[in-house]
Amino acid sequence: MTDLADSPAVRRLSDWNRSRLESLADDHETPLYVMDLDRVKENYARFSAAFPDAHVMYAAKAHTGKAVLEAVLEVGGTIECAAWGELQRAIDAGADPNELQYTAVNPPDRDLDYAAELGADNPGLTVTIGATDTLERLEERGYDGRIAIRINPGIGTGHHEKVATGADAKFGIPYERVPEVADRVREAFDGDLVGIHAHAGSGVLTDDLEDHCRAIERVGEMARRVGDEDLEFVDVGGGYGVPYREDEEPLDLERTAEMVRDAVGDLEAQLKLEPGRYIVADAGLILTEVNTIKEAPDTTVVGVDASLSTLIRPAMFGSYHPMLNVSAPDRETLEATVGGPVCTSADVFAHDRPIARPERGDVLAIGNAGSYGYELANQFHSQPRPAEIALEDGEARVARRRETLADVTRLEQ
């Protein structure tokens, strides 16, 4: 792992070794995910250094691949999970179940069954509830372990309305009901209310910090109302972002840490944070090969073998991802519309994007794909999901093999 003094706050596409990327595309075909595990470790270490007195957990939903989870655990991280499958995958990667935190959001029965059974054998497991129904269902299952309450601060932040969870009624106990729910937990679970939790939104950069911290202020206020001296932690969630556009500045972590501490205020309980995107986004990219060049009246269409089944974020959120012609970055640029083979107009990665003039057979890189990239990959159009290569200590290995059509159809009866 690079010394943090030599590790940039954000890794741009131009910082990747082009010849290495071309070699990976040749050896493993495209589309191809590439995850730099050394960068994952650097990002976790940098974030933790900014919050030396806090407990920093990695939010697994950003990338639940075993190689990534192992990298986080290797540098002393713990893991926050949002579903039973993430709990199991964290354990498979080597996590101690007693150090896991499970944030239940409208959990299906199988999720709560699994969590209750896991908690019976591992009393350190923490279950975070966002509805009184979840509390009742845990009681029905005989769960008598550690409980945290997720509150809805009524303030959402982030890069898109679909991730502004802090103002979405789906997430958390309504703010003014939290004290009565806290009393109920303490009565039903013999005082085992260990924390207060909230998550305002995702993709927060420096300009979003004021809104983000207004939500955190409410979390701190509620913690003191319910008795923070009796709590183990106050969890203000994650959502800390990375700049996707080339002209955006990286998150100022020192300022962020100062503002978060000021916002949450004096607490007896320990501060806890759950970065996900910040840890993995710029550690990953996608390599894709150009197969079609088509001159249209208003644009040049560049067809590639990646699609919205490879990376759905542009179609789902309108997200911008940087792009680089790895094969020939010094060619003259043209404005191109880059899209994949899926039969929908949503299958476009960029409209009128300046890029070094692509030719058939060129390899393009799509940056900042480490967060919610492979996690949202799918098999639309019966497209097998891509392979994933892990880079670590100068070596490359297959972390996830490329699916075959037999993988796509093997569950059919």
User: Which residues belong to the active site?
Assistant: 343
Q: Known binder of ligand: residue 374?
A: no
Q: Known binder of ligand: residue 191?
A: no
Q: Which two tokens stand for residue 23?
A: 């070699």
Q: Token pair 């923490």 is at which residue?
A: 126
The HSE-up count of residue 134 (CA atoms within 13 Å, CB side) is 26
For the chain, how far is it from start to end, CA to CA, in angstroms? 47
The CA distance from 227 to 151, in Å, is: 15
3-state secondary structure of 264: helix
Q: Across the strands, what pairs with 262?
A: none
Residue 63 contacts residue 373 (beta carbons within 8 Å): yes
CB neighbours of 76 closer than 8 A, spacing ≥ 6? none
Sign for the pseudo-dihedral over CA of 208, 210, 216, 218: negative
HEC string for 329-363? CCCCEEEEEEECCCCCCCCEEEEEEEEECCCCCCE
3-state secondary structure of 143: coil
Q: Known binder of ligand: residue 274?
A: yes
Q: In terms of DSSP H, where are the helices of 78-177?
A: 84-92, 109-121, 132-140
Q: Which two tokens stand for residue 312?
A: 């759905």
Q: Known binder of ligand: residue 124?
A: no
Helix (H), strand (E) at residue 59: strand 55-59
Q: Known binder of ligand: residue 156?
A: no
Q: Known binder of ligand: residue 375?
A: no
3-state secondary structure of 29: coil
Q: Known binder of ligand: residue 140?
A: no
Sign for the pseudo-dihedral over CA of 255, 257, 258, 260: positive
Q: Which residue ranges make up the annotated binding site for substrate? A: 277, 313, 372
Q: Which residue ranges make up the annotated binding site? A: 239, 274-277, 313, 372
Q: Which residue ranges make up the annotated binding site for pyridoxal 5'-phosphate? A: 239, 274-277, 372
